[in-house]
Structures are given as structure tokens and as C-alpha cells.
Structure 1
Amino acid sequence: MILDTILVVDDEKKNLNAIRRIFSGPEYKLYFASSGEEAMEKVEIHSPSLVIMDVMMPGMDGIEACSRIKVKNENIMVLMLSGKSGIEDRMKGYAVLADDYIGKPYDPDELIAKVNILLRLFNAKKELADMNENLEITVQKRTGELIARERQALTGKMVQGIVHNLRGPLAVAASHAQLLSLLVDEYQSASDPAPPVNMDFITEVKTRNNKILDAIGKGSELIDTLVFQGGANPREKRRPLNLNELIQKEARFLRSEIIMHHGVELKLDLAHELPLVNGRYTDFSQVFYNLVKNACEAMAGSEKKKLTISSRHSASEIILSFSDTGPGIDPELKAMIFDPFFSTKSGADKTGSGSGLGLFICARLMSEYKAFISVRNLDPAGCEFSIQIPLQDSKEKDDLLKP
């Protein structure tokens, strides 16, 4: 059985003994203090549920002691006891957040009733706080599960894009290989069993072979990207990242989708010698993908479609910006775009089938790096998302640059 703890504060011993007799039942655990100063010490040690506080005491009086208790822990209930029970005196107690007030002399039954009410309120508040804490943990857990599913869905879309992009280079490789086979067959079936060396023919063979190697190289690069993206581990360890290189690699990965599917002109404006960031590739890769995808979809109805991705830095931070030429964002919606499940796309204008978690995921992933994502509309049209990534202190930055 958990006992309700009560701290009784009064500078007169007879008053302390009177309350000791009233609350002598096993359901109460009592502590006593004879001054405001001692009361503050007892509150720190015992953290009571309720303080029964005399108002008129030498030194720190009950009003000041109540005020300090509420500053330290506003959940502790305080019942003021005083021979002065006029409206002005009671208002002084309520002004410092006292929960109730009873005048002296008091009726023991009324005191017991008030104490039990305040203890029930304290326990109800504590139970509600515990429920809120458990609810927050549950929400965080469920949100994490949703983010994991969204990440899997995004990875699936990227895999589909890679497979689509693989078909082109592999088809080129196949066609050139077939042509090379025909040329070789033609050479071998010539009427002259030992024809002179045909330099034009050899040159053609080499040219076709180089094209095959080039196409295969492109295919290999896309396969490497597929393996890397598909094998992303949510617990991947941090490592020094060059965000310029990441942007260039991801841009190559998405370029055909950006240009061919969305008809968007892509421009990279990257700073020289960007400082390294200690992070997870998959975190920044997913943020890059989400912001690029949002920008392309935003420009679906625009006459001019241009996406500019830039990087710059100062001594304290790196800033990555994604600027589009779309219609911009309604100012009334700016405060909500990072909320989970919120989407600016609806009805006939909806160009994607996402869950509304894209920007929420971006903000959540970047929060681990204490990075801040801001958005502003451009003049005369367009929108810019910027990620401000704080840099580590100089020692950590030097460590990142060490081989």
C-alpha cells in the first residue's frame, strides 16, 4: 500500500500535535517542520503529496514558503492554515498558487475532508501525468514504425527506378555486343582465308568494345547504388561524410527520373571544399530524396521547371538549399508542413500517393544532428527549403579530417 505523505508546517508545537492526532490513521505518513526554512528542506528530502502550511510564522512565512514550493514542484498540493481567514488573506494564498485555505480554529472533520480531496487531486494528476508519459512513449514507438514502413516504401520506389534505369545501358550493351558478333562473323567468313589486316575494321571493333565497356560501367555503378540503398541499416554507424559528394551521387542516381519523368532542369551549385559531417549516409540520402521528390511534384503545373541544389558553409554550420520554381507554399500552411500525415496535395492536384510523412521524416532525421529545416517562398515564384547543419567543435572537425 502506497501511503499519502503529508508535511505539516507550524511554528507552534501544540498545533503540530493536534494535526498528528487527527491524521494518526495508517493511510497517512506525516512529516513535520516548525518553520518555512525547515519546510523547504523537508520538501526536498521527502517530496510530499500535500503540505499543510501555517501562514503566520517568524522568518519565512507560509505565503513565501508556498510560493517557493510551487516553483520547485507545482504538483505538490498546499493547504493554507491561518487565524486570518478574511477574503484579502485568502486571496494572498491563492495568489501564490495555494490549492485551498482553511481558517483557525478549524473543524477536524472539515480539515480531514479538505485534505482527502487534495490528496485525491494529487493522485489523479499523478496518474494523468503517467498516462501522458506512457501515451507519448506509445506515439513515439508507433511513429517509428510508420517511419520504418515509409522508408521501406521509399527504398522500393528507388529500387524500381534503378531497375528502370538499368534497362537502357544494358540494352545498349546487348545491341553493341550483337553487332560486334556480326562483324566478327563477317570477318571470319570472308572469302579470303587470310585477308590483310583491315585497320578500319579493327578500329570499329575497338570503338564498339569501348561503348560496351562504358555501358557496362554505367550499369555497374547503378547496381552498386542499388546494393547500397537496399542494404541500408537503420543502425548504420556514423562516419565522415562529404555532403557535396553525396549530393552529386544522389543527383546522378535520380537525374533520369528528374529530367525524363518530371521534365525538370537540375542545377547543382556546390561550395568549394565543404567541411565533413559525421553522420549516416542513409539519413542524408533519404532527406535528399524526399526534398527533391517534393520539389519536382510541386512544379508539376509550372511552365518553368528548374530545381537548384546548393551548398555553402560558415565556420559554424553547413547550409543545403533546395530551390524550385513551383507555386510556393500557402503562408497559412507553413506551420503545418512538418506535421505527420499533413500534405499540401489534395484532390485533382495530388501528384503523389505518399502518407504525408515526407517532411516529417526529414525533420526527425535531421533533429539527431541538431539541424534545422526552414522554408521560404521566393520572389516572384518558387519555394526554398534550407537545412542548417551545425558543425562540431574544431577538435572534432580536425579528427574528421584525419585519415
Structure 2
Amino acid sequence: MVLHALARRRMEVNLNTRKQVNNTDDWDRLFQELRVYYRHSAVGRRTTGIIHHFNTPLQAILMQSELMVRKLQEEENTFAPRLSPELKAEWQKFFDYRRKKNRQLQEELAQLQRLVHLIRYQSFHEDDQGVQNIDLNELVREELAAYQTEWFFKYRVEKHLQWRDRLPPISGFYIDFSQSFRNIVDNALEALSSVDKPSLTIETRLDANRRIIAVGDNGPGLAPEIRDILFTPFVTTKGNPEKPRAGLGLFMAQRLLSPYGGVITVKSRPGETWFLLSLP
């Protein structure tokens, strides 16, 4: 359902910018990307249904794992003292191995439960058609947690996070803010893909009574000629026939935040780029 909402919002923006499409290549890239999003939307609807039923078997497996912990404790207290020193040494190795593996299983199950909760949380909020009071700190944390499923973000990218305590909530549609933030982070991660030691910085702060979400990376930076047209639809430096890009991500982010008085600014030089999302 999250992907379905995303596809719907993307189509709304695309229809609003139809007059700005001025050549066949733009339309081709646009339709290729929309095909991908609608395909993902169909898969997303099925996946969301599965996720809603995922927690019950996870709970059952976790209960069996906790039962194993108790059984291992009983074994250590009642069975081990009756063993000879020679047998006890062999038993201890096997016992330690089983306890270690069961602990690893519990950690993986806990991670799966967190992911299930996250997907259900995002699905609920992004499909909600009503206006909400949104905690931007919490939104950013939840979005970054979702990126933990991506190998590059989880293992390669050095992350620096700083939150402004008690950031005032903002009223609006959750998906407008979550999608805008994701578009900016996606852009930063793509820039970092060619960096030996990728680093991503996320900050929230309050500046002159405006809420600020700052996204910084140590990628190669933006060329001046690109920086001037960065928020123009159908401008992209990425994409290939296998992964078509319509060049709408940053334009959409700006367009989604505009009704709230939101502004996105960019500062870039070789080795350092900052996107600042500013909201009243």
C-alpha cells in the first residue's frame, strides 16, 4: 500500500507537469519509470497483506526459542553436574554452541519483528488520506530504519545523526514529507556509490522558527550547470536502460513540500553536498 500511495502521488505530480514535457525522450523515460512504479505498487499491495499476517508465526518461533533457553538452563543445572570431567568438557562445547546459535536466532527474530512493525507503521501512515500532526524527528528515524535493509547503507555508509530535541510537529500529509525525505536521501546514496569511504550526515534543527532537515554527503559534488536546473523536471544525470530515471525525484520533493511553505536549497562543492529541507 505504501508503494501504491507513492505511485498515486507521483502520477498527480506528473499530470501537473505535463505541459513541461517537451520531447519524446522525456515521455519515454517517464513512462518507463511509471511502469516500474506500478509494477512495484502491485507487488507492494500483496506484500503488505502478507506482512500483516507475519507477526503471528514470528511470535510462535520466538516462544519456541525462549523455551529452548529454559531447557538449556535446566540441562546446565541438572544434567551437567552428573557428568564425568571428561564428558563434561565435551558437553560444554556442544552446550555453548547451542546457546550461541539460539541467541543469534533470537536476535534475527527481533530484527524481523522490528521490520514488520516498521512496514506496518509506514503503510498505515502513508495510506492515511487525512492530515496528521507529524513528528519530523520520528519520521526521519523511521525512514532511516527502513534503509537498514539495504546492504550499501547498512554496511558501507558511515552515518552521522543529530536531532534537535522537541522539534515542533508539523501538520500535513505524512507521505508528502516521507517521500520528499526519501528522494533526497536516495539522491545522496547514489552520489556516495562511487566514494571509497561514503559518509552520510542527517541533522534536524530549528533555525529562525523554521524546521530544518539537513542531508549531507561526501560524494563528488554537483557541477554548477546541473545545480542551476536541479529541481527542473526530467533533469537527471543517472539512469540506464535497465534502470530508467525520469529525473523527477528532486522536482517532486520540492513540489510536495511547496504547499506547506517548504523550500529545498542545495550547497555543493567537490567532496561535500548539502540538501536543506526548510519548513515553517
Shorter-chain TM-score tier: 0.5 to 0.7
- The answer on 1:386 being equivalent to 2:276 is yes
Q: Summarize the Cα distance change of 1:202–1:240 in structure 2 as closer, same or farther, 3 Å threshold.
A: farther
**Matching of residues 295-374 of structure 1 within 5 Å:** 295-345=188-238, 353-374=244-265
1-side partners of 2:268 and 2:242: how far apart? 20
TM-score w.r.t. the length of structure 1 is 0.46
Deviation at 1:272, TM superposition (A): 2.1
Q: Secondary structure at the match of 2:260?
A: coil
Aligned position for 1:244: 137
2-side partners of 1:373 and 1:316: how far apart? 16
2-side partners of 1:269 and 1:324: how far apart? 14
**Matching of residues 4-403 of structure 1 within 5 Å:** 139-140=15-16, 180=68, 212-230=105-123, 236-257=129-150, 259=152, 263-345=156-238, 353-378=244-269, 381-390=271-280
| AA in 2 matched with 1:238 | V
TM-score w.r.t. the length of structure 2 is 0.64
Deviation at 1:149, TM superposition (A): 7.2
2-side partners of 1:232 and 1:245: how far apart? 12
Q: Identical aligned pairs, as a percentage? A: 28
1-side partners of 2:14 and 2:160: how far apart? 42
1-side partners of 2:14 and 2:218: how far apart? 40
Structure showing greater relative contact order (alpha-carbon pairs closer than 8 Å, 6 or more residues apart): 2
Write the deviation string for residues 94-142 of structure 1: whole angstroms up to 9, x where unpaired.
xxxxxxxxxxxxxxxxxxxxxxxxxxxxxxxxxxxxxxxxxxx995285
Q: Give the root-mean-square deviation of aligned CA atoms.
A: 4.7
Deviation at 1:382, TM superposition (A): 1.8
Write the deviation string for residues 30-55 of structure 1: whole angstroms up to 9, x where unpaired.
xxxxxxxxxxxxxxxxxxxxxxxxxx
Q: Secondary structure at the match of 1:336?
A: coil
* Structure 1 segments unaligned to the other structure (5+ residues): 1-136, 391-403
Deviation at 1:231, TM superposition (A): 5.3
1-side partners of 2:275 and 2:226: how far apart? 14
Q: Secondary structure at the match of 2:148?
A: helix
1-side partners of 2:192 and 2:14: how far apart? 37
Q: Secondary structure at the match of 1:308?
A: strand
1-side partners of 2:217 and 2:175: how far apart? 24
Kept in 2, the 8 Å contact 1:297–1:351? The answer is no
Kept in 1, the 8 Å contact 2:239–2:245? The answer is no
2-side partners of 1:250 and 1:269: how far apart? 15
Aligned position for 2:7: none
